[in-house]
Structure 1
Amino acid sequence: MARGARVVSIELIGELRARLLAYREEAASILDNADSEVERAYRWVSQEQAAYWQSELRRREDVVVQARSDLARAEAQKEMGKPSTLDERRALERAKRAVEEAREKRQIVARWARTLDKEVQIYRGQTQPLRTHLEGPIERALTLLARFSQSLDDYVALSAPSQQSEGAASSGPAEGESVMSVGGADRARTADDWRRARPEFAAEQSSESPALLGRLATLLRGATAPVARHAASLGSGPFPMDQSMVDVAISEDPDDPLCLERVSASASDPQDSGWRIYSAVPRQDTLATGRVKVGELARSVSVFALLQAAPVGSLVVVQRQMVLAAFDPQGTELSRTIEKDTGATRAEDGA
């Protein structure tokens, strides 16, 4: 039996979200500043200092050439009565030592550049988990808290139900109706109900469209965990080739449920993977249609990576971070099956 949530203060949810948002922004700022400092230090050694000592070496080599020329000229003048070439010899020795110093400095800079490169890679590897956490779980938590807060505000704004509606509610659901609360009326739909929203994919509208990939990644982000719960129950079919195509028809509205369905591949199209992704709310005037490659979609959208080998007939309906329904090839709703299996023992214990 489902139990209601005990909410003590709606304001606390908003306060928690504000503090979480402040933490994310402060942590991201610290990471960005640290990245900037590390990059500046590495660039100063590997580029600026390397270029400086390379230029300085060439300049000092020119000084050696000039010192040798001066010495040769002095020795020629010595034969004509010049007392000594000691100054010119000392100048040549100083120039040679300066060249050796420049070569040593260049080698030191190169050695430090290699060392810094390794340290930078270690630093990035150690800070990447935090950055991923800020962009993934923290971002999803912020979105979820905003939805919770909005839902509670909407609930508080509702007027009290009338006696007639209370009586209708207490009479219970009609025969054959679903009593699931998550997803509302959508959870009462069958697989055929969801499939009726599948649009026709005309050949001229199904050219490859890389722009759809980014939009799909945005719409499906965060739904990985709910999908993973059902992916194993779907089983496995023939694995589509990376270059095969997925037909897509989606709207601009991020709240529209998306159907991820695998149908029989077209016999006339060897590139067809059999996968269709489409908005479950028909909006033919605003649908963006096209095709994306299976391999690129699996790499960009973790939800699809879990499902790409699902057998023909599989259907999963996703709305933001929620799975509204999941059907196996026989049309059985997996979410209901799972809930029934996990809830049976609890029902017996409570009897």
Structure 2
Amino acid sequence: MTTPAHVTSIEALHAFRGALIRFADEATSAVDSLRQEVLRTMEWIEHDRPGYWKQQVKRNFDGVAQARTQLEIAQMRTYEGQGPACIEERKRLANAKARLQFAQDQIQVVRHWSLKLQRESDDFRGRNGHLEGILKRELPMAIGKLQRMVESLDRYAERLPRQDATESSATESGKETKPTAPGPTKKE
């Protein structure tokens, strides 16, 4: 046996439906924004950064070659029979090698993060797919069902007999009105 519904405000149902529609729009927008952010990040990690670090490796190879050449030139100079210490040139070569090593390391770091980002992105899409299903299928069905219920309640409310002003004011003041039924009256 079903229990009767106790609806106290059809307007509250209208307001709830409106809030549900706004939620669906905002949530869909947020999910789309997140999806776009993930795609931009993946594009940056998988395509932009590898090219950048390969270019840096090439540039730093050239820097190492140049620093090495400058060191060799400095080592060929002699000053009063003594070879130069070439401290500046050795520092430049060490710095150039460090920059080259850093750029090569970054290529490996980018590969690592690219794989990790791909796994996390797949995980995100899997979890997000359930939410998208709710937002695209279940929520519109719920909004439609709520709309049909509200329309049905509106039609029901229109069919109810209207109370007289005296009955409603008497009910509001706390007095109950007793219906009068036609029937035999007692004679005294």
TM-score w.r.t. the length of structure 2 is 0.65
Give aligned-pair identity as a percent: 30
C-alpha distance in 1 between matches for 2:91 and 2:16: 75
1:99 aligns with 2:100: yes
Partner of 1:112: 113
Partner in structure 1 of residue 129 of structure 2? 128
| Contact preservation (8 Å) 1:53, 1:105 | yes
Is this contact kept in 2: 1:60–1:99, CA < 8 A?
yes
Partner of 1:143: 144
Structure-1 residue corresponding to 2:173: none
The one-letter code matched in structure 1 to 2:68 is R
Tell me which residue corresponds to 1:57. Answer: 57
- Contact kept, 8 Å, 2:53 with 2:106, in 1: the verdict is yes
- Map 1:297-312; keep pairs closer than 5 Å: none
Kept in 2, the 8 Å contact 1:71–1:85? The answer is no
Q: Which amino acid in structure 1 is aligned with residue 66 of structure 2?
A: Q
Partner secondary structure for residue 102 of structure 2: helix
Q: Which runs of 5 or more structure 1 residues have no equivalent in the other structure?
A: 161-351
- Aligned partner of residue 108 in structure 1, secondary structure: helix
Rate the CA distance shift 1:81–1:44 in 2: closer, same or farther, 3 A: farther
Q: In 1, are the aligned partners of 2:77 and 2:83 still within 8 Å (CA)?
A: no
Residue 94 of structure 1, CA deviation? 2.4
Structure 2 unaligned blocks of 5 or more = 162-188
| Contact 2:76–2:83 (CA under 8 A) maintained in structure 1 | no
Kindly indicate whether structure 1 or structure 2 has the higher relative contact order, using CA contacts under 8 Å at least 6 residues apart.
Answer: 2
Match of 1:337 in 2: none
Check conservation: 2:77, 2:84, Cα contact below 8 A: no
1:49 Cα offset (Å): 3.1
CA-CA distance at 1:37 after TM superposition = 4.0
Q: Which residue of 2 aligns with 1:24?
A: 24
**Distance change (3 Å), C-alpha of 1:43 and 1:17:** same
Higher helix share: 2
Does the Cα contact within 8 Å between 1:64 and 1:95 map onto a contact in 2?
yes
Larger Rg: 2
* Pair 97,43 (structure 1): closer, same or farther in 2 beyond 3 Å: same
- Match of 1:71? 71
Give 1:135 deviation, angstroms.
Answer: 0.4
Higher strand share: 1
Supply the distance in 2 between the matched residues of 1:81 and 1:40 (Cα, whole angstroms): 62
Tell me the SS of whatever aligns to 1:136. Answer: helix
Provide Cα deviations, 1:92-137, integer angstroms capped at 9, x if missing partner.
2322222112111211121111111101111111121011111001
Q: Is the 8 A contact 2:67 2:96 kept in 1?
A: yes
Q: 2:82 & 2:31 partners in 1: Cα distance? A: 69
Contact 2:61–2:100 (8 Å) recurs in 1: yes
RMSD of equivalent CA atoms: 3.4
Equivalent residue pairs, number: 157
TM-score for the superposition, normalised by structure 1: 0.38
